[in-house]
Structure 1
């Protein structure tokens, strides 16, 4: 996106959290899960949900001790002394994702799953047990696995409670920058193998690549699972540049660069978290769309993603993701989520 558009968006005043809950949403009976909720955007999103009166708020975190500290802070600031709970989720581990999904399936209902957890790695490493670079693995492979595996429980919730659950993936405008154009198209062979190569790896290019892959994957998944058939809204949201700990793994120069950039343009984590709330209550019209500045902003998606060639690329990303998960013994079957009749029809 053009830099001056980015500056304009960053300076836009966002609506308060209290104004984002639609009158049709019964938040007091709702169950909401926020991943990466012990710090930054996830923490402030969870805090808002508790403050707004959500019936059940689950902080999904890699470190339970840090999650418990975050929850204690939320309870103190909201005066809801028994609200919230902490669940362990380490997206760098298939075993942890499997255990989390098994626990998720014991819930009575899920109104919203906000997939916020992400990492930005300063150095190239491969995820343990997978021939995929760590940030690609966490931000895309296991995040999308969690998203798809959660769909049946959200479908069940929609039917049982006559409401519209939301699956929100927290992406970034970094993924749609002009420098990302052609990033996937240039890949030879399997996309995930190509973007996982150590050659040419830099923290400043890899993180946006993970977000571009997220955008392609979410758009394809939403097209495969129409909300009219599933009752579940799937969208993605850009919180903008915020004061968070996303660059905690960065080197000295990287941290200095981000500190200066944030000083000039960043939102607070609380402000950025409002965009997550908007996405989780955005309505059926947001299915498959890009949300930013607390509203649907699909016009921000560049033509090279939205046009016919972009659709081909998103299908390629999705197909390579499915193959990769199958190779890692964590296959997903989207047709099965639509029910046997729909699967047979296809």
Structure 2
């Protein structure tokens, strides 16, 4: 094995190992666990003024904005992660092609060298002299034909060597481009992670400043807001003519999502122990035999859109103007979704959040 070949294989192995380290699952999904801020009332001897419902409503709206921002950043993180996996796979494939191309080039050079040596040994007198001195002119002519064939074969080898070298150069350029994209994606993922951690930490600190009774009242306000939104949605008559019959794949997706009820939300997670919103929907449909985009925004962009009045169990409902949240419709005006940090996979009203639209993975 030549030194060039050993060097190329070593480089390919380094590329594969580096990609494997970057793409290793589970290494970047751990959600932050900030130290909770002590409640002001717990450290003060003087009684604290109770928080009014108006103040709590402001807190609820502030929390909603913080968790929405975290959801948007989570989609950015998941998109960067998905792109990184594709780019890593392409780099590995290109590394394999480079190794195979180098082996092919070495083989072609060896054959070309052997052909050149054979032609050198057959050299000497001019063809006219060889014909005059030959006892068998036909044998000379047959030999000359073989030499001509050899020359053509040598030219063919040289042409293939050139093409193989060009392929290797292109593979190297492609690998370099993919590596640059991978590095840019890594930076984007790190930036998104910082955004997520910042928003979640701010939300947790805000909640930690409330007394136990106030947190309970805050939860009641959240439930009341969701109930009012759901009631208004149902009162619109949306379910009156709704087709509630699921497709076979839709039924399997609903079964999968139902089995995940009670599992914690974790940003960037795709199960089996924790999920974020699009992690749950993508895995539910993967279990039904249909691969769909990983992020809620790509699910909205790429999957077939369905009128809300035509949705059926298994369809995905996208929420907010930026498609930052997604849930699985299960029929009778209900959804299963992974809401946000601090919550678990749960059943909720399909109209409890502002609906952007509906998509159907098996359309």
TM-score range, shorter chain: under 0.3
Which TM-score applies when normalising by structure 2? 0.20
Given the two structures, how large is their TM-score scaled by the length of structure 1? 0.21
